[in-house]
Amino acid sequence: MSTEATTLRVIIAAFTDFLTVAIHTILYERAIYPPTSFLSARKYNLSVRQNRHPKVCEWINDAVSAVETELLKGVVGRVAIVIYTKDNHPVERFMLDVSRFPTVALADLDTPLERTAANGDRLPILPRIDMEEQFRATLSRLASCSSTLKPLPEGCVFNIAVELKQDGQPPLNHPQPWMPVQSAKGDAVGGQLQKKAVPVRSIAAGELLLECWIEEADGAS
């Protein structure tokens, strides 16, 4: 158990770390960028790939910090890393369900959290070691996702999306890092998009509850 007081900010910081690593891993595994542009790095005691292009890194960091901002507001339901084809059809979505993160008032972001079990014991809020193990497991699953997914067409691009919770207010202020879109359900492209879900892993480390899966557009190609 970590000795420092665990606040929501700490939990979210742990998640965004993981998100950054996950994005790099996906980019590498789905070959969005040439494999030679990736460095081998170590995170969670696992060998991971990191894109070394400064612009890519910068973009990812910006995107992740934008996600973090929304997460802190507590309005995010899911975070998605979407891969589009050249002609802008989504082919794969790497989903992270974060809707079960604890929600606190904005003022309490830095208030240490506490959970007591029924018998009065204090439960760990963010068991670091456990968390890292689960992150590691998730990342290694992600790293082997290529074997189950269909190969991507040439020239795919990726994007980061967040799905808000039902009552979540979209971040509509200036400057606007997010582009609002309508719910994907009942998409313009011929009703319900056929898709296939590939479960990756769920993470349950203290208050950090997270589900990760991949959605693959079915029969798109």
Closest CB to other proteins among 63 and 217? 217
Report the residue number, 41 or 204, with the smaller CB distance to other proteins. 204
Based on CB atoms, which residue is closest to other proteins, 52 or 196?
196
Q: Is 54 exposed, middle or buried (0-12, 13-18, 19+ CB in 10 A)?
A: exposed
Q: Provide, rounded to whole angstroms, the least separation between the CB of residue 85 and other proteins.
A: 18
Amino acid at residue number 96:
L
Task: Please list, in sequence order, all residues whose beta carbon lies within 8 angstroms of the beta carbon of residue 9, skipping any fewer than 6 positions away.
Answer: 72, 109, 110
Task: Give the nearest distance from C-beta 210 to other proteins in angstroms.
Answer: 9
68-69-73-79 Cα dihedral, nearest 10 degrees? -40
Instruction: Please report, as ranges, the residues that interact with other proteins according to CB under 8 A.
Output: 5, 95, 97, 99-100, 102, 104, 107-108, 110-116, 125, 185, 193-202, 204, 207, 209, 211, 213, 215, 218
Helix axes 8-29, 128-143, angle to 10 degrees: 20
Q: Tell me, what DSSP letter sits at residue 67?
A: H
Query: Please, which residue, 31 or 198, has the CB nearer to other proteins?
Result: 198
Distance in Å, CB of 195 to other proteins, minimum: 3
Which is nearer to other proteins, 77 or 177 (by Cβ)?
77
Give the chain's length. Answer: 221
Q: What is the dihedral of CA 41, 17, 33, 137, to 10 degrees?
A: 70
Least Å distance between CB 175 and other proteins?
Answer: 30
Cα 74 from Cα 158, distance rounded (Å): 24
Shortest approach of other proteins to residue 34 CB, angstroms?
30
